[in-house]
Chains A and B, each alone.
Chain A
């Protein structure tokens, strides 16, 4: 029992770390490319706002702001991932009460994402 509990904590902690470091990596890359490629004041008007629908097409075209957006999205999605992991680890612990609660939080987040990003 305690063994499994240890695992939950370890997983959650690792996800938080990986998420933030990957995100920081994308940010450095994207911002670096942006300032190297363009004059800082040039393209401020036609910036791409982060959004699921356009991010991938712009990524393929190698737009620096799209990479920055990916970093931002990754950071914002990390908490969701954290909640999803919590759901499964509570299930693995057979702690159904808290699995349901975590599932509720996940639903709220998912609903917000779907309602706002598409």
Chain B
């Protein structure tokens, strides 16, 4: 599991995915961990990756802490609600929902343009303070609503929810992409923490499963962020779309297969 965690952390940070998307299929499909325990372990891992990456981003002044805090009001509430709902739902349904999230992730990765053409480099980190008016945030109420939904997904399925938050901030609220990524990362830790406590209370955080995976992810992610500037991730990303689609199918079958047995 430690090795699996390292792999998940490494791949996650290189591919720009939160670890959760990879950790949950690994734990449930390879190690046979029950769905909710996998979600609990994944939430803890997500906090680990977020803290590691966020400390780096915060140091580089890419994070908009003020915007992050505001949206966190919505994401934490969403995560708590999501966590509680996950406790009521059948694991099979969670598995099927997770399968669709994987498919969505694959779809966004396929659509994403290569890193070079994002063209957001003109805005530098030094003027990232919304109060100075270097960029104006639009649609805040809608953004809050979307953040609540992102938190919901996070608590329900044990992922960071960056896949929802980044597009919301970037496209809807007109936040520069790099700031959106960094701020989303900053928020993920707090959101996942709120969700994790709900899983704690149900005793669904297995010390050995969560502990070893988290340790692996911690080292994998640290290694990944060091390696990131040195490798070309584009081809890897394209190839990985198929892995995600495959995992999505597997999770779907798992959900449906178990459903038939009961």
Contacts and interface: CB of A to CB of B under 8 A. Distances in A.
A binds B: yes
Interface of A: 8-10, 12-14, 16-17, 19-20, 23-24, 27-28, 30-31, 34, 44, 47-51, 65, 68-69, 71-72, 75-80, 82-83, 86, 98, 101-102, 104-105, 108-109, 112-113, 115-117
Given A79-B51, A108-B77, 7 more contacts: A9-B65, A14-B55, A24-B219, A31-B208, A47-B206, A80-B193, A83-B72
A9 B59 contact: yes
Contacts of B252: none
B80 A108 contact: yes
A31 B218 CA distance: 14
Interface stretch (B164-172, B209-217, B230-238): B209-217
Interface stretch (B15-23, B90-98, B197-205, B240-248): B197-205
A101 B194 CA distance: 16
A80 B193 CA distance: 8
Nearest to B194: A112
B44 A72 contact: yes
B200 A50 contact: yes
Contacts, number: 144
B69 A105 contact: yes
Nearest to A114: B197
- Nearest 5 pairs of A and B residues by beta carbon: A116-B201, A16-B55, A79-B193, A68-B211, A79-B189
Given A76-B196, A108-B77, A116-B198, A16 B69 contact: no
Consensus secondary structure, chain A interface: helix
A5 to B, nearest CB: 8
B58 interface: yes
Contact of B197 (A16, A19, A116): A116
